[in-house]
A and B are shown apart, each in its own frame.
Chain A
């Protein structure tokens, strides 16, 4: 079943550019970018249990830093993306240091405030970000080859999405992943097992921001323009909804949630004024009736139906 699913996903990913048009490829690029964004949120919230509501800010840092490194300084794209990811991670560490002193609702509020502050910075630091007018992003390039269209960017976006999924699985299976879950489940017990809880939280924040930064870099591969309006709380909310809808604490849930909910949100774009209400409603409904997420909910229903 699982192998079949993976095979199907591989076939779809490979066949997509041969059978579809620009819009579908653009959509695929966006969904894969959101997948990586969600994986970052999965690490900090799903694995380590630390509420972070500043994900859009790290995503934004990734976009601006990668975009500026490519556009202004003409660096080739893998380098620009790495710089973007590292810059986001560095800011994530700093936020982590502050966040270590708080928990639960206070942590949520503090990270929310940071996210808002960063958006304000994106909107007002005209010299660097272009301010409210946004920033034009030059096409990424490598060895003289330019990535101009969505189709050009697509293979690279797929590659990065797969790399980041692989990295998430690796972390989750490893000692680090177990340590993060231990911190989520019981800090005092984690400490007694020799896990430096503060350092584990810091790492979770840093890694989560790194993933968001890489997602930002992926965005610059197929986009020519970034507007700070799209880097506010609604984007954090969108990623959070995706992770919760998919199933908090599971990698499959984060990926599935990003894709399923990404499609829903694309449909909702026709009615932007209802968009956030719809996100909120879906989030509330899932938290009430399917707190383990869409896929666990379906498996549960499906399993029950099968077993009578």
Chain B
């Protein structure tokens, strides 16, 4: 087995006495898609926000590519190659799609003095244009983010994260609120990114069809604790998982 690109060891985080995540560990292999699922309030997003350094864990370690990142600021993540999207859209609303993308590429615009001053730094423009093209945002290049429809706003969240040129992509419910057609496109895009380009993806998602289709591994959380982990097929058949989602009765009789 290859060394994990990201490992979380014994992570615990509590908010005012309430333990949101308890003694949680995962190891994410490079080039794989690893899903975090669980009922509402299970601690998925909390874990996610710990990895992206938005929350400070009370205990535990987060190691990315052999380097401990537990105590680094969240603004150091992009430089390391860790990108994230936000569940409740955190776009730069009054700015255009292109400008959102340019800010996404912020860490790659600081090379030369010319790149720092340029409105369209040559170092990143080709990459940005390619991502805009690939995510289908090309017709909206000069549109303000707030004027995009919801589906395209979700896409821009993803595209902007890709502009970081990440090695690890953290996606917080990228499919929430999307239509079936849009979910299918997302499925293809994420699969391509992982299988063809070797990007490592951690995804928190409620749309099970997508999770089961794209994931290499699935970790299930309930009440802040890991209750199962395995391939999508293994997890689907796990009694504890069915119980967590549907209740004990169904699990016994089903």
Contacts and interface: CB of A to CB of B under 8 A. Distances in A.
9 shortest interchain CB distances as A-B pairs: A194-B78, A185-B92, A189-B90, A194-B107, A173-B119, A191-B75, A186-B90, A175-B109, A182-B103
A91 interface: no
A175 B115 CA distance: 8
Contacts of B52: 192
B26 interface: no
16 contacts: A173-B119, A175-B106, A178-B102, A181-B99, A181-B103, A182-B106, A186-B91, A186-B92, A190-B103, A191-B54, A192-B78, A192-B84, A193-B103, A194-B106, A196-B75, A197-B75
A179 B106 contact: yes
**Number of contact residues on A: which range applies?**
20 to 34
A86 B216 CA distance: 57
Contacts of B161: 192
B117 A170 contact: yes
A193 B161 CA distance: 8
Interface of B: 52, 54, 73-79, 83-84, 86, 90-95, 99, 102-104, 106-107, 109-110, 115-119, 121, 160-161, 164
A15 interface: no
Given A181-B92, A185-B94, A194 B77 contact: yes
Contact of A174 (B74, B92, B103, B116): B116
B75 A194 contact: yes
A72 to B, nearest CB: 38
Given A175-B106, A175-B115, A197-B75, A188 B164 contact: no
A195 interface: yes
Contacts of A193: 78, 103-104, 106-107, 160, 164
Contacts of A179: 103, 106
Contacts of A175: 106, 109-110, 115-118, 121
Nearest to A177: B119
A175 B120 CA distance: 9
B86 A188 contact: yes
Contacts of A182: 92, 95, 103, 106
A282 B237 CA distance: 68
Contacts of A197: 75
A100 B74 CA distance: 17
Contacts of B119: 173-174
Pick from B83, B92, B118 the residue with the most CB of A within 10 Å.
Answer: B92
A194 B84 contact: no
A192 B117 contact: no
Given A184-B94, A189-B86, 14 more contacts: A173-B119, A175-B110, A175-B115, A181-B95, A182-B92, A185-B93, A189-B92, A190-B75, A190-B103, A192-B75, A193-B104, A193-B160, A193-B164, A194-B107
Given A174-B117, A175-B106, A192 B77 contact: yes
A176 B113 CA distance: 12
A170 B99 CA distance: 16
A175 B124 CA distance: 12
B25 to A, nearest CB: 24
B75 A188 contact: no
Contacts of B164: 193-194
A176 B121 CA distance: 12
Pick from A170, A178, A181 the residue with the most CB of B within 10 Å.
Answer: A178
A176 B94 CA distance: 17
Contacts of B102: 178
Pick from A174, A179, A185, A192 the residue with the most CB of B within 10 Å.
Answer: A192
B117 A195 contact: no
Nearest to B119: A173
Contacts of B73: 191, 196
A189 B157 CA distance: 10
A251 to B, nearest CB: 13
A173 B117 contact: yes
B83 A192 contact: yes
Nearest to A182: B103
A169 B65 CA distance: 40
B77 A189 contact: no
